[in-house]
Amino acid sequence: MKIAMQGVSGAFHEIAIREYFKGQQYDVVACDTFNELFDALHDGRANYAMMAIENSLVGSILPNYTLLRESGLRILGEVYLRIEQHLLGTPGSTIEKIKKIYSHPMAIQQCNKFLTPLRRKGVVMVDAEDTALSARRISTENLKKHAAIASRLAAKLYHLDILAESIETNKNNFTRFLILSNEENYQNHKKGQHINKSSLYFLLPHEQGKLSEVLSVLTFYKINLTKIQSLPIAGRNWEYLFYVDLEFNDYDKYKKALEAIGPLLSEMNILGEYQKGETAHEN
Protein backbone atom coordinates (compact mmCIF):
# COMPACT_ATOMS: atom_id res chain seq x y z
CA MET A 1 0.00 0.00 0.00
CA LYS A 2 1.33 3.43 -0.98
CA ILE A 3 0.07 6.70 0.49
CA ALA A 4 0.76 10.07 -1.10
CA MET A 5 1.24 13.24 0.92
CA GLN A 6 2.41 16.80 0.32
CA GLY A 7 5.78 17.43 1.95
CA VAL A 8 8.79 15.38 2.99
CA SER A 9 9.22 12.87 5.81
CA GLY A 10 8.47 14.45 9.17
CA ALA A 11 5.67 16.66 7.85
CA PHE A 12 2.40 16.88 9.75
CA HIS A 13 0.80 14.99 6.87
CA GLU A 14 2.95 12.00 7.78
CA ILE A 15 1.86 12.20 11.42
CA ALA A 16 -1.77 12.09 10.22
CA ILE A 17 -0.95 9.07 8.03
CA ARG A 18 0.61 7.25 10.98
CA GLU A 19 -2.51 7.91 13.03
CA TYR A 20 -5.11 6.85 10.47
CA PHE A 21 -3.22 3.81 9.12
CA LYS A 22 -1.90 2.73 12.52
CA GLY A 23 -0.77 -0.91 12.54
CA GLN A 24 -0.77 -1.24 8.73
CA GLN A 25 2.14 -1.65 6.36
CA TYR A 26 2.60 1.14 3.82
CA ASP A 27 5.10 3.28 1.95
CA VAL A 28 4.81 7.06 1.84
CA VAL A 29 4.98 8.83 -1.54
CA ALA A 30 6.28 12.36 -0.90
CA CYS A 31 4.92 15.04 -3.25
CA ASP A 32 6.11 18.61 -3.66
CA THR A 33 2.63 20.02 -4.24
CA PHE A 34 -1.02 19.07 -3.78
CA ASN A 35 -1.37 18.91 -7.58
CA GLU A 36 1.35 16.24 -7.63
CA LEU A 37 -0.48 14.39 -4.87
CA PHE A 38 -3.55 14.00 -7.09
CA ASP A 39 -1.34 13.03 -10.03
CA ALA A 40 0.23 10.27 -7.90
CA LEU A 41 -3.20 8.75 -7.33
CA HIS A 42 -4.29 9.05 -10.94
CA ASP A 43 -1.15 7.54 -12.43
CA GLY A 44 -0.97 4.67 -9.93
CA ARG A 45 2.07 5.75 -7.91
CA ALA A 46 -0.15 5.76 -4.81
CA ASN A 47 -3.30 3.95 -3.67
CA TYR A 48 -4.36 6.55 -1.08
CA ALA A 49 -3.58 10.16 -0.22
CA MET A 50 -3.61 12.26 2.95
CA MET A 51 -4.54 15.89 2.28
CA ALA A 52 -4.97 18.85 4.62
CA ILE A 53 -8.27 20.66 4.01
CA GLU A 54 -8.65 23.18 6.84
CA ASN A 55 -7.03 24.62 9.95
CA SER A 56 -8.82 25.84 13.06
CA LEU A 57 -6.87 29.12 13.10
CA VAL A 58 -6.57 30.12 9.42
CA GLY A 59 -9.59 28.38 7.88
CA SER A 60 -10.00 26.35 4.71
CA ILE A 61 -7.30 25.51 2.17
CA LEU A 62 -9.52 26.71 -0.66
CA PRO A 63 -7.60 25.38 -3.72
CA ASN A 64 -7.84 21.84 -2.32
CA TYR A 65 -11.64 21.87 -2.59
CA THR A 66 -11.42 22.48 -6.31
CA LEU A 67 -8.66 19.90 -6.76
CA LEU A 68 -10.79 17.32 -4.94
CA ARG A 69 -13.95 18.10 -6.91
CA GLU A 70 -12.20 17.97 -10.29
CA SER A 71 -10.25 14.80 -9.45
CA GLY A 72 -13.22 12.44 -9.17
CA LEU A 73 -11.60 10.88 -6.08
CA ARG A 74 -13.53 10.07 -2.92
CA ILE A 75 -13.13 10.84 0.77
CA LEU A 76 -12.65 7.70 2.88
CA GLY A 77 -12.16 9.35 6.26
CA GLU A 78 -10.60 12.19 8.20
CA VAL A 79 -8.08 12.96 10.95
CA TYR A 80 -7.99 15.99 13.24
CA LEU A 81 -4.40 16.61 14.31
CA ARG A 82 -3.30 18.88 17.14
CA ILE A 83 -0.47 20.94 15.64
CA GLU A 84 2.54 21.38 17.93
CA GLN A 85 5.55 23.36 16.72
CA HIS A 86 9.04 22.80 18.16
CA LEU A 87 12.31 24.65 17.72
CA LEU A 88 14.87 22.16 16.39
CA GLY A 89 18.66 22.45 16.15
CA THR A 90 21.69 20.29 15.51
CA PRO A 91 22.91 18.19 18.48
CA GLY A 92 24.56 20.37 21.07
CA SER A 93 22.94 23.59 19.85
CA THR A 94 21.44 26.12 22.25
CA ILE A 95 18.90 28.87 21.63
CA GLU A 96 21.49 31.49 22.58
CA LYS A 97 23.71 30.46 19.63
CA ILE A 98 20.96 30.51 16.96
CA LYS A 99 21.30 33.19 14.25
CA LYS A 100 18.61 32.05 11.75
CA ILE A 101 15.34 30.15 12.05
CA TYR A 102 13.75 28.44 9.03
CA SER A 103 10.17 27.29 8.58
CA HIS A 104 6.99 27.66 6.60
CA PRO A 105 5.59 31.21 6.91
CA MET A 106 2.44 29.92 8.59
CA ALA A 107 4.47 28.06 11.23
CA ILE A 108 6.54 31.18 11.90
CA GLN A 109 3.36 33.20 12.29
CA GLN A 110 1.89 30.60 14.65
CA CYS A 111 4.95 30.95 16.91
CA ASN A 112 5.12 34.75 16.88
CA LYS A 113 4.94 35.22 20.67
CA PHE A 114 7.93 32.93 21.24
CA LEU A 115 9.91 34.36 18.33
CA THR A 116 9.45 38.08 19.08
CA PRO A 117 12.18 38.28 21.77
CA LEU A 118 14.55 36.40 19.44
CA ARG A 119 13.88 38.86 16.62
CA ARG A 120 14.76 41.70 18.98
CA LYS A 121 18.10 40.02 19.60
CA GLY A 122 18.81 39.93 15.86
CA VAL A 123 17.74 36.36 15.01
CA VAL A 124 16.57 36.26 11.37
CA MET A 125 13.40 34.41 10.36
CA VAL A 126 13.65 32.72 6.94
CA ASP A 127 10.52 31.64 5.07
CA ALA A 128 10.75 28.12 3.65
CA GLU A 129 8.36 25.96 1.65
CA ASP A 130 7.87 23.32 4.33
CA THR A 131 8.45 22.74 8.06
CA ALA A 132 9.94 19.27 7.71
CA LEU A 133 12.05 20.35 4.73
CA SER A 134 13.54 23.07 6.94
CA ALA A 135 14.44 20.47 9.56
CA ARG A 136 16.03 18.22 6.94
CA ARG A 137 18.13 21.08 5.64
CA ILE A 138 19.42 21.95 9.12
CA SER A 139 20.41 18.32 9.56
CA THR A 140 21.90 17.48 6.15
CA GLU A 141 23.89 20.73 5.93
CA ASN A 142 24.83 20.55 9.62
CA LEU A 143 23.94 24.20 10.19
CA LYS A 144 25.18 24.71 13.73
CA LYS A 145 23.86 28.24 14.27
CA HIS A 146 20.57 27.70 12.46
CA ALA A 147 17.30 26.20 13.68
CA ALA A 148 14.00 25.03 12.22
CA ILE A 149 10.41 25.05 13.43
CA ALA A 150 8.88 21.65 12.77
CA SER A 151 7.31 18.56 14.33
CA ARG A 152 8.65 16.18 16.95
CA LEU A 153 8.68 13.49 14.25
CA ALA A 154 10.98 15.66 12.11
CA ALA A 155 13.35 16.00 15.07
CA LYS A 156 13.45 12.22 15.43
CA LEU A 157 13.88 11.46 11.72
CA TYR A 158 16.64 14.02 11.16
CA HIS A 159 18.42 13.48 14.49
CA LEU A 160 17.90 17.01 15.76
CA ASP A 161 17.62 18.31 19.30
CA ILE A 162 14.42 19.95 20.48
CA LEU A 163 15.65 23.31 21.76
CA ALA A 164 12.18 24.45 22.83
CA GLU A 165 8.94 22.46 22.93
CA SER A 166 5.43 23.54 21.90
CA ILE A 167 6.35 27.09 20.96
CA GLU A 168 3.07 27.76 19.10
CA THR A 169 1.23 30.78 20.52
CA ASN A 170 -2.26 29.28 20.37
CA LYS A 171 -2.41 25.79 21.84
CA ASN A 172 -5.86 25.23 20.35
CA ASN A 173 -4.47 24.69 16.86
CA PHE A 174 -5.83 21.78 14.82
CA THR A 175 -5.64 20.76 11.18
CA ARG A 176 -8.20 18.53 9.52
CA PHE A 177 -6.88 16.01 7.01
CA LEU A 178 -8.85 13.95 4.48
CA ILE A 179 -8.00 10.44 3.30
CA LEU A 180 -8.62 10.09 -0.43
CA SER A 181 -8.72 7.22 -2.90
CA ASN A 182 -10.51 5.89 -5.96
CA GLU A 183 -14.07 4.59 -6.18
CA GLU A 184 -13.15 0.90 -5.69
CA ASN A 185 -11.15 1.51 -2.52
CA TYR A 186 -13.87 3.87 -1.30
CA GLN A 187 -16.62 1.27 -1.63
CA ASN A 188 -14.52 -1.43 0.03
CA HIS A 189 -13.59 0.92 2.87
CA LYS A 190 -17.19 1.90 3.56
CA LYS A 191 -18.14 -1.69 4.35
CA GLY A 192 -16.18 -1.64 7.60
CA GLN A 193 -17.18 1.82 8.79
CA HIS A 194 -19.96 3.30 10.87
CA ILE A 195 -21.07 6.04 8.49
CA ASN A 196 -22.07 9.19 10.37
CA LYS A 197 -20.61 12.02 8.29
CA SER A 198 -20.56 13.11 4.68
CA SER A 199 -18.98 15.77 2.50
CA LEU A 200 -20.72 17.01 -0.62
CA TYR A 201 -21.08 20.02 -2.86
CA PHE A 202 -24.11 21.51 -4.56
CA LEU A 203 -25.10 24.27 -6.94
CA LEU A 204 -28.20 26.39 -6.31
CA PRO A 205 -30.46 28.00 -8.89
CA HIS A 206 -29.82 31.73 -8.99
CA GLU A 207 -33.04 32.45 -7.07
CA GLN A 208 -33.69 34.30 -3.85
CA GLY A 209 -34.03 32.20 -0.70
CA LYS A 210 -32.87 28.85 -2.14
CA LEU A 211 -30.01 28.35 0.34
CA SER A 212 -32.36 29.11 3.23
CA GLU A 213 -34.77 26.46 1.94
CA VAL A 214 -32.00 23.84 1.79
CA LEU A 215 -30.86 24.61 5.32
CA SER A 216 -34.45 24.42 6.59
CA VAL A 217 -34.85 20.92 5.13
CA LEU A 218 -31.62 19.74 6.77
CA THR A 219 -32.83 21.15 10.08
CA PHE A 220 -36.15 19.35 9.73
CA TYR A 221 -34.35 16.02 9.30
CA LYS A 222 -32.03 16.83 12.25
CA ILE A 223 -28.90 16.80 10.09
CA ASN A 224 -26.04 18.72 11.70
CA LEU A 225 -24.34 21.10 9.25
CA THR A 226 -20.77 21.33 10.59
CA LYS A 227 -19.26 23.31 7.71
CA ILE A 228 -20.34 25.33 4.70
CA GLN A 229 -17.84 26.82 2.28
CA SER A 230 -18.77 28.74 -0.86
CA LEU A 231 -16.44 29.10 -3.84
CA PRO A 232 -17.09 31.06 -7.04
CA ILE A 233 -17.54 29.16 -10.29
CA ALA A 234 -14.93 30.21 -12.85
CA GLY A 235 -16.50 31.92 -15.83
CA ARG A 236 -19.94 32.27 -14.23
CA ASN A 237 -20.18 35.63 -12.50
CA TRP A 238 -21.72 35.62 -9.02
CA GLU A 239 -22.52 31.92 -9.05
CA TYR A 240 -21.12 29.71 -6.32
CA LEU A 241 -20.63 26.07 -5.41
CA PHE A 242 -21.35 25.23 -1.79
CA TYR A 243 -19.21 22.60 -0.08
CA VAL A 244 -20.80 21.22 3.08
CA ASP A 245 -20.04 18.69 5.78
CA LEU A 246 -22.97 16.92 7.40
CA GLU A 247 -23.11 14.81 10.58
CA PHE A 248 -25.97 12.48 11.45
CA ASN A 249 -26.93 9.60 13.72
CA ASP A 250 -29.47 7.99 11.38
CA TYR A 251 -28.14 7.12 7.91
CA ASP A 252 -31.62 6.48 6.47
CA LYS A 253 -32.83 9.89 7.66
CA TYR A 254 -29.74 11.47 6.13
CA LYS A 255 -30.53 9.84 2.76
CA LYS A 256 -34.12 11.11 2.97
CA ALA A 257 -32.79 14.60 3.65
CA LEU A 258 -30.69 14.44 0.47
CA GLU A 259 -33.72 13.28 -1.49
CA ALA A 260 -35.72 16.19 -0.08
CA ILE A 261 -33.17 18.88 -1.03
CA GLY A 262 -32.53 17.37 -4.47
CA PRO A 263 -35.37 19.26 -6.24
CA LEU A 264 -34.08 22.54 -4.77
CA LEU A 265 -30.63 22.15 -6.32
CA SER A 266 -29.25 22.51 -9.83
CA GLU A 267 -26.50 19.98 -9.07
CA MET A 268 -25.31 17.84 -6.15
CA ASN A 269 -22.42 15.40 -5.78
CA ILE A 270 -21.30 13.43 -2.74
CA LEU A 271 -17.53 13.57 -2.22
CA GLY A 272 -17.61 10.90 0.47
CA GLU A 273 -19.61 9.23 3.25
CA TYR A 274 -17.44 8.11 6.13
CA GLN A 275 -16.92 7.79 9.87
CA LYS A 276 -16.32 11.02 11.74
CA GLY A 277 -12.65 11.37 12.65
CA GLU A 278 -11.14 11.69 16.08
CA THR A 279 -8.49 14.11 17.35
CA ALA A 280 -4.90 12.87 17.34
CA HIS A 281 -1.78 14.22 19.03
CA GLU A 282 1.81 13.70 17.92
CA ASN A 283 3.74 11.26 20.06
Assess whether 34 carries a catalytic annotation: no
Catalytic residue among 175, 202, 220, 279: 175
Q: How large is the angle between the packed helices 251-261 and 210-220, nearest 10 degrees?
A: 160
Q: Please state, in angstroms and rounded to a whole number, the distance separating the CA atoms of residues 120 and 280.
A: 35
Assess whether 177 carries a catalytic annotation: yes
Cβ contact 133:92 at 8 Å = no
Catalytic residue among 177, 220, 226, 279: 177
Kindly report the number of other CB atoms within 10 A of residue 174's CB atom. Answer: 16
Q: What share of the chain is helix, strand, coil (3-state, %, to 5)?
A: 35, 35, 35
Q: Please state, in angstroms and rounded to a whole number, the distance separating the CA atoms of residues 173 and 54.
A: 11
Pairing of strands 174-181, 74-82: antiparallel
Task: Give the catalytic positions in this structure.
Answer: 175, 177
